[in-house]
Structure 1
Amino acid sequence: MRSSLRLLANVKPARYLEPFAPTGLTGLITHPSPRPTLIYLYTTTLDKLKAFPESSVYRQSTEALTRHRLQIVESTKPPGYDAWLERVRKAVQAEPERFKSLRLPDGSYAAIQKGDGNVDPRGRAAEWDGEGMEPSSEGPVRTPEEIAYWHKVIEESAAAEKKDSDFEAQSMNWESEPALEADQVSEIEKKIGAGLIEEVIQVAEGELKLVDEMLKAQVWEELEEKPSPGQWTYFERTHAPGGQ
């Protein structure tokens, strides 16, 4: 039902979803690059869960669900992904120190804004104002926040080069990951079964915030105040005399 809402929100069928276009759900707009965003959120969540004891029920359940969803997202690769990844690898291998600041916690170099380390800011893109948008048929567009972030990173890298060299630093061009096709997004949504991919991103953002709170509360420890006898006992089915 929700997938059909997205289709109804589009003026005409397209190979790619139009970034920031309405999804059919109030207040929710089409995310420009859901795949790298989810990969970042899931890998960061899994990394933070390592601080919990392995015996923690919260860690066990959250890890299982997060790994499952991460596998679904990672296994769905957009057209041109392998060629893009090869270009990125060659660029990094040629100048590893220069691209060091673009390395993500999971070891990848996807062009994704890292924000303050808690939640990827792209999960809440600017609200669509109802004005027409330029069509995007090949790959995701970058938000103003993304552009500003990468310009800052590039400027810092260039400044660092100037300190160690008398030569003019060359500009750093970073290519974004190719976009998923509309059918691929729909397939991910079906496999995860939790609504639109934008809703899945919202849940992933919330879980990432929750991990910090659960760690701060040390939820794996014994309760300071023991529960009263029977407090956590659920209602049991009672049987009538004679097995009726």
Structure 2
Amino acid sequence: MFRATRTLLAAATKPATLTTPTARTKLTTGIAGLEVHPRPLSALKQTYTSTLKVLEKIPAAAVYRQSAEAITKERLAVVDRANQDATESDIEAVEREIDAGLVEELLEQAKDELKLAGKMLEYKPWEDLAEVPPNGQWAPFRVTPSTTTADDLSPN
């Protein structure tokens, strides 16, 4: 009656094996819910490349495109310099050079930026407003001495 349960229990307690070969020796990221990625550099390269393709569709004068493109190209260059069949030390070198967290965190950031780029393309914030805002709409947010720096108060 319980023979199938023993087999399932035995299978569930075996460590998971990866279907693709990996050079990763790291077992955990130390961050709850964030698993070690078997091939993080190739995944990063693919995500950065996809992000750049989406950013190309945004007008070159858009500030979002300029800033996102600069960061993405800079990080892609770091990943490109690394060996794609990277050892842990190669991956750690990429983490140190980018200096924005673990490579798995970088991958999450890259995926989020790719989603945001798609949303920005959809929302088109660089275009003029559909309706002109009424006079005085932004008056409560005007610059006052309490919201400025000393540089803002000096005469030009």
State the TM-score, normalized to the length of structure 1: 0.47
Deviations 1:5-48 (A, max 9, x none): xxxxxxxxxxx4237x3211111111011111111100111011
Work out whether 1:64 is the aligned partner of 2:70: yes
Distance 1:61 1:188 in 2: 21
Which residue is 2:25 aligned to? Answer: 18
Q: Residue 148 of structure 2 aligns with which residue?
A: 236
Equivalent-residue separation in structure 2 for 1:72 and 1:209 (angstroms)? 22
The CA distance in 2 between the partners of 1:205 and 1:225, in whole Å, is: 35
Q: Residues 57 and 22 from structure 1, CA distance in 2 versus in 1: closer, same or farther, beyond 3 angstroms?
A: same
Structure 1 gap ranges (5+): 1-15, 79-178, 240-244
Q: CA deviation at 1:237?
A: 2.9
Change over 3 Å in CA distance of 1:232–1:47 after alignment to 2: farther
Contact 2:25 2:88 in 1 (8 A): no
Structure with bigger RCO (C-alpha 8 Å, 6+ apart): 1
Residues 18, 30 of structure 1: 8 Å contact kept: no
Alignment deviations for residues 170-194 of structure 1 (CA, whole Å, 9 cap, x no partner):
xxxxxxxxx3111111100011111
Q: What does residue 115 of structure 2 align with?
A: 209
**Counterpart residue number, 2:47:** 41
Which portions of structure 1, spanning 4 or more consecutive aligned residues, are displaced by more than 6 angstroms?
Answer: none
Task: Name the CA shift for 1:56/1:31 in 2 (closer, same or farther; >3 Å).
Answer: same
Q: Is residue 104 of structure 2 the alignment partner of residue 198 of structure 1?
A: yes
Task: Summarize deviations over 1:120-171 as a string: whole Å, max 9, x none.
Answer: xxxxxxxxxxxxxxxxxxxxxxxxxxxxxxxxxxxxxxxxxxxxxxxxxxxx
Percent identity reads 35
Displacement of 1:233: 4.1
Find the aligned partners of 1:232 and 1:185 in 2 and give their Cα distance. 47
Superposed, 1:66-145 pairs within 5 Å as: 66-78=72-84
Note the C-alpha offset of 1:222. 2.3
Measured against aligned partners, the alpha-carbon deviations of 1:82-125 in whole angstroms (never above 9, x if no partner) come to xxxxxxxxxxxxxxxxxxxxxxxxxxxxxxxxxxxxxxxxxxxx
User: Deviations for 1:51-98, whole angstroms, at most 9, x for unmatched residues?
Assistant: 1111100000000000000000001114xxxxxxxxxxxxxxxxxxxx
Amino acid at match of 2:33: G
CA distance change for structure 1 residues 238 and 68 in 2, over 3 Å: closer, same or farther? closer
Give the corresponding residue for 2:13.
none
Gaps of 5+ in 2: 1-22, 152-156
The CA distance in 2 between the partners of 1:34 and 1:228, in whole Å, is 45
Between structures 1 and 2, the one with greater helix share: 2
The equivalences for 1:214-229 within 5 A come to 214-223=120-129, 224-226=131-133, 228-229=138-139
- Change in 2 beyond 3 A, CA 1:28/1:232: farther
> How many correspondences in the alignment?
123
Deviation at 1:229, TM superposition (A): 3.7
Q: Between Structure 1 and Structure 2, whose CA radius of gyration is higher?
A: 2
Residues 1:27 and 2:33 are matched in the alignment: yes
CA contact (8 A) 1:34 1:201 kept: yes
Aligned amino acid, residue 216 of structure 1: E
Question: Which deviations, in whole Å up to 9, do the C-alpha atoms of 1:203-244 show, x marking residues without a partner?
Answer: 0000101111111100111234535146364811359xxxxx
